[in-house]
Homo-oligomer: A and B are copies of this chain.
């Protein structure tokens, strides 16, 4: 059934699709919606500009990552993306120690925060770009200290902004509710992204038997 399924969902293109991100979650999501792609992580340093909004930040960083790779390729559609976690108007990055991860999770416990994910599509040949973003509110239940410590001990929070993964087993039992696209929290707003990529490919005349 899985074979049959992919025949119907895959976006087929006449040019390569290149993901400018080293996030294994984003690769997994592109695979999930049946896209054939390669990975070339951008070397762009993720710097938040505190004079512009969170939305402008994720859109700008997504575009910078995509353009960084576009400048090194001769053809293809480059996908850039950036995610930030914001609580009480401050950005939580990736934790730099287990203690830092524990403090982030204590901050998130029992409260609602917002996850912003931007994405950019850049066509290398025409320089045409498409940029969008999505945001989702995430509400944690009250966490016990022993739950936080057990989670941090697994190592999973260490490479994730805000020190959690919504798709982790712990994420599943920590999160009381979300308001928005689940996949925006994982790392790419799949519903918006799929439609945007399909239209982008069609407008450029790169389609090859899509639905």
Give the interface of A toward B (CB within 8 A).
Answer: 1, 4-5, 8-9, 29, 32-34, 136, 141, 144, 146-147, 150-151, 153-156, 166, 169-170, 172-183, 190-192, 194-195, 211
Contacts and interface: CB of A to CB of B under 8 A. Distances in A.
A175 B170 contact: no
A146 B211 contact: yes
Contacts of A178: 178-182
A153 B8 contact: yes
A106 to B, nearest CB: 16
Contact of A33 (B33, B173, B181, B190): B173
17 contacts: A1-B156, A8-B153, A9-B150, A33-B169, A33-B173, A144-B211, A146-B211, A172-B183, A172-B190, A173-B190, A173-B195, A174-B191, A176-B191, A177-B181, A178-B178, A178-B182, A182-B182
B173 A191 contact: yes
Given A1-B156, A5-B154, A173-B195, 9 more contacts: A1-B155, A4-B153, A9-B170, A141-B195, A150-B211, A166-B182, A173-B191, A176-B191, A178-B178
Nearest to A141: B191
A4 B8 CA distance: 38
For the residues of A in contact with B, the DSSP-based class is helix
A174 B183 CA distance: 12
Given A32-B172, A33-B172, A1 B182 contact: no
A32 to B, nearest CB: 6
Nearest to A136: B177
A141 B182 CA distance: 14
Contacts of A136: 177
A8 B155 CA distance: 12
Nearest to A185: B182
A169 B34 contact: yes
